[in-house]
Amino acid sequence: MDSELDDLLANGVSDEIRAQLGFRLIPTAEVPLTNIVRDGILEPGELPKRFTAHTPCFRSEAGSAGRDTKGMIRLHQFNKVELVSVVANQDEGLKELERMTECAEAILKKLDLPFRRMLLCAGDMG
C-alpha cells in the first residue's frame, strides 16, 4: 500500500481517490474529537466527557500572498495538543474551562516553561 500511495501522491490524486483513501488535513482536532459523541445522547451522569488529541495541523501562512508567491498555496504545519470537554450546560462549561487551563498550566510549570495567562475578548482572538 505504501508504494501505491507514494505513486498516487507523486502523480496527483483525484478528489474521488482522495476521498476513498480517507486522508484529510485538519486545522484543528476539535471537530474529530467532538464527532466521537455526535451520534449519541449523553446522560448527565456520563458528563463531562474529556478528550485529548495530539495532531499535526495545517493553516495557510499569514502574509503569504504577494508578487513572489502568485499561484502558490503556502501552508504552515505545526503540532498541537488539544483538550476538549463535553459538558451539560454553560456553568459546567466554565468550570471545565478553568480545569483545562489549570491542567495546561501544570504541564508548563513542570517543564519550567514561562507562560502568561491572559483573558481576551473573543474579537481580539483573531
Q: CB–CB of 75/96 below 8 Å?
A: no
Q: Is the pLDDT of residue 92 over 70?
A: yes
Can you give the pLDDT at residue 10? 57
11-63 tens-digit pLDDT = 666 667 666 766 666 778 888 899 999 999 999 999 999 999 998 877 766 65
H helices of the chain, where?
A: 2-11, 15-21, 30-35, 90-110
Q: Could you tell me the pTM of the whole model?
A: 0.65
For residue 110, pLDDT over 70 is answered with: yes
- Is residue 50 within 8 A of residue 83, CB to CB? The reply is yes
